[in-house]
Structure 1
Amino acid sequence: IQNEYEVCILNTGLDMNKIIKPEISRHNANINYINRSVLFMVLNKSYPNIIKLNKSILRKSDVILTASYGIPRDLLKNNIRGKFVIFTRHGTGDGKFSFNKSLFEYDCVFIPSKKMYDQFREMSILDNLKNYLQIDYCKFDYLFYYPEKNLKNFNNNLPIILYNPHYNKKISSFYKDAENIVNAILESKKYNIILSPHPLVNKWHFFDRIKLHFPKSERLYKDWSSIHKVNFDYMKIADIYLGDVSSSIYEWLYFDKPMIFYNSHNIVWKNNPYYRFWNLGNIAANPEELLVYLDKSINISDSFAKIRKETKEYVFGDIDGKASYRTAAKLYNYLREKII
């Protein structure tokens, strides 16, 4: 799209490093790649410290794109001023944190779906943003770049459950119920289970995670930090999605398979704007209910198939593998008009 300006990627994620480095090599891109993922872990996951230790890079930048909340404030605390800061976000979920008031601090906010645009408008967020860009959902492009390849995690033909709980203790099912959930599924002897929590469970709540104990079983595969957590590999092979509030719920729609949600906190979710995605599957409040819904999902006709299809079309529209290119072109033209 352009070769006038240097592009620099400052990465703080161990799992993302496994994707970013090969992608840069694959496309022979002229990118200054700086990997700070190990340093990020050592510094106790502190974005202010990362910013402090990379002031020289950030001060040279005209535009800073980030998927992290609070970055404009952290830049100001380090006396880094006059930068055009864009919030890219990394999903299109319904959780309350997706509509954080810190969005108003950014010079521009990406809105990656029709659904989120409508939500911003309904919540009176849209008119309070400094600027915004409506874009397509770029992450699905990854599925077009690489040929279909399926992992082989189990030595049997049982249905596979992808259990993908969130990291936030206040709303996640992981810390309170993961042991009971996994044990119940294994004791049923009907399913394999991939336990793949949000990557921040391992990064931010490591000591809480290691307090939990899961049995050894050929039907249980645990993944705390790998490339497969973030590149759709598990979604390709799983038959059922089990989760709570992750934005991955919407990404699962691409694969058109059943999903079940686990309500660990007695959430009154109906008509709650932050739990709209729970209309896409059954809601379990205990292991017994979960097993019933799992059996229904496998053995009985899928009563949520229609609403999943309609929601996918509403949220993402046509998915053609070219969203990243369109977004990059839109961003470049926007910045040419605005600042560079």
Structure 2
Amino acid sequence: MTLRNLRIGFLFNHDCTHQVSHTAPIVSELVRLGQDVTVITSSIEQEAHARRTIGACSDRIKYVRIDISRLSKAINVVARAVVPFRRIANLRENVDLFAGFDALVVPETTSALLKSHFRLDTRLIYFPHGAGDRSIGFRDVTRFFDLVLLPGTKTRDRMLEKRLIRHGHHAVVGYPKFDTVDMATRRRFFDNDRPTVLYNPHFDPVLSSWWDMGMEVLEWFAGQDKYNLIFAPHVMLFRRKMHISVEHRRMRLRRLIPPHLRNLPHIRIDTGSPYSVDMSYTLAADIYLGDASSQIYEWICQPRPCILLNSHGARWQGNPNYAHWNMGQVIDRVADLPHALAVAQEQQRVYAQRQEAAFQATFHTQPPETAAQRAAREIVYFLSQDKSPAA
């Protein structure tokens, strides 16, 4: 197979757009290397986000939008409350399309079903959407991918320890999402000079602080006048009313936010706008308040105070699934939040060095080459070799 004959598909198959920026920047770099690239999306929103991210060379890329059958759509009305049925159906019903590519690049692991259940021979290239510590990011399903591209040595070393990746079938390239962000831009979301706190809970029914602490957090911020609050949870939290964690065997129903919390001048509630996924909030705020989201690693691109909410009584010390909790104060009750906020800047002297070390381990940087350029080069190199597909 010659380089000129490579046909590479980038698949975005999700309910939201938050995964797009993790791999879309690689597209333009592959085009510059003379490769034939097709972007495959499952929604209008994903395609629009991909076009914005890819930019000037979009006219040299083919865009395809996949869909599912009427029967599958009918089943999805009921099944989506329990499983990501539409995503799985999109994979199953479009195998023939995927088979026309030399490789398919994906930012999530559901696509491994193409190998494990749907008998696709096309090479699968996986780039994780995020660089967090949750155990779900280090599962056996990773072994189904032919090539795994990684943001840094932290993720690589943990995957190697668990034997999820093997020599010649992985590469550390950096974090392409950073290539799309102007780190010097800091948007202003409030008409005052109070410190701004970003509350960024995850959606997991066990790990997220939203379920047992979230409303109390919002009420506390509503009743004080020292801080601004941006409430920008993981975009999936308010995408569904019911959340089920297969990993932790827990199901919970999401509560609505009361109207009296929605129109306060010092609180901004955003349950899924582009600002939630393009780092606008992480660059604008002064203090991070969270739990299990990998967004904390984007936060420490500029080391600042972090406060972590331990809502589920985790024994987190020494646990790699909670490595990010070493980068800030960990509190077990909302009653401890006022003090944690008051000493946050002072405590940052303790945590700044940890954050800087964590950032270096999590994200590979090697100027002047970008992460997207390194990823494109590794993809072309891998596909030009005579390597057997993953088992």
TM-score by length of 1: 0.87
Give 1:130 shift.
8.4
- What is the percentage of aligned positions where both structures have the same residue? 23
Check conservation: 1:58, 1:80, Cα contact below 8 A.
no
Aligned to 2:39: 9
Aligned to 2:380: 332
Instruction: Mark the CA change 1:149 to 1:135 in structure 2 (over 3 Å): closer, same or farther.
Output: closer
Superposed, 1:20-169 pairs within 5 Å as 20-35=50-65, 43=76, 44=80, 45=84, 46-74=86-114, 77=117, 79-127=118-166, 131-143=169-181, 146=182, 148-169=184-205
Distance in 2, Cα, partners of 1:193 & 1:41: 39
Give 1:69 shift.
1.7
Which protein is richer in helix relative to its size? 1
Q: Which moved more, 1:250-259 or 1:49-58?
A: 49-58
Which amino acid is 1:59 matched to? A
Give 1:108 shift.
1.9
Check conservation: 1:235, 1:255, Cα contact below 8 A.
no
Check conservation: 1:41, 1:203, Cα contact below 8 A.
no
Give 1:298 shift.
3.9
Distance in 2, Cα, partners of 1:221 & 1:206: 24
Superposed, 1:226-265 pairs within 5 Å as 226-265=273-312
Aligned to 1:211: 256
Distance in 2, Cα, partners of 1:187 & 1:136: 42
Distance in 2, Cα, partners of 1:255 & 1:15: 30
Distance in 2, Cα, partners of 1:299 & 1:4: 52
Give 1:257 shift.
1.0
Aligned to 1:190: 226
Check conservation: 2:142, 2:165, Cα contact below 8 A.
no
Distance in 1, Cα, partners of 2:362 & 2:298: 10
Instruction: Mark the CA change 1:157 to 1:285 in structure 2 (over 3 Å): closer, same or farther.
Output: same
Secondary structure of the residue aligned to 1:9 is strand
Instruction: Choose which of 325, 342, 357 in structure 2 pairs with 1:310.
Output: 357
Aligned to 2:334: 287
Residue segments in structure 2 that go unaligned for 5+ positions in a row:
1-29, 244-252
Which amino acid is 1:186 matched to? A
Q: Deviations 1:90-117 (Å, cap 9, x if unpaired)?
A: 1111110010111112222222211112
Aligned to 2:246: none
Secondary structure of the residue aligned to 1:270 is coil
Aligned to 2:215: 179
Q: Deviations 1:59-105 (Å, cap 9, x if unpaired)?
A: 3222111122232324664x452111122111111110010111112
Aligned to 1:220: 267
Distance in 2, Cα, partners of 1:15 & 1:297: 38
Give 1:47 shift.
1.3
Distance in 1, Cα, partners of 2:63 & 2:387: 24
Check conservation: 2:232, 2:269, Cα contact below 8 A.
yes
Q: Deviations 1:217-252 (Å, cap 9, x if unpaired)?
A: 111111112111111111111001111111111111
Give 1:15 shift.
6.1
Instruction: Mark the CA change 1:36 to 1:265 in structure 2 (over 3 Å): closer, same or farther.
Output: farther
Distance in 1, Cα, partners of 2:193 & 2:47: 33
Q: Which moved more, 1:109-118 or 1:280-289?
A: 109-118
Check conservation: 1:95, 1:245, Cα contact below 8 A.
yes
Check conservation: 2:209, 2:311, Cα contact below 8 A.
yes
Which amino acid is 1:62 matched to? D
Instruction: Mark the CA change 1:334 to 1:306 in structure 2 (over 3 Å): closer, same or farther.
Output: same
Give 1:158 shift.
1.0
Check conservation: 1:261, 1:281, Cα contact below 8 A.
yes
Q: Which moved more, 1:311-320 or 1:60-69?
A: 311-320
Residue segments in structure 1 that go unaligned for 5+ positions in a row:
none
Secondary structure of the residue aligned to 1:308 is helix
Distance in 2, Cα, partners of 1:147 & 1:104: 34
Which amino acid is 1:57 matched to? L
Q: Deviations 1:283-315 (Å, cap 9, x if unpaired)?
A: 011112122111111466632112112222232
Distance in 2, Cα, partners of 1:38 & 1:234: 35
Give 1:18 shift.
4.8
Check conservation: 1:14, 1:37, Cα contact below 8 A.
no
Q: Which moved more, 1:203-212 or 1:192-201?
A: 203-212
Distance in 1, Cα, partners of 2:183 & 2:364: 22
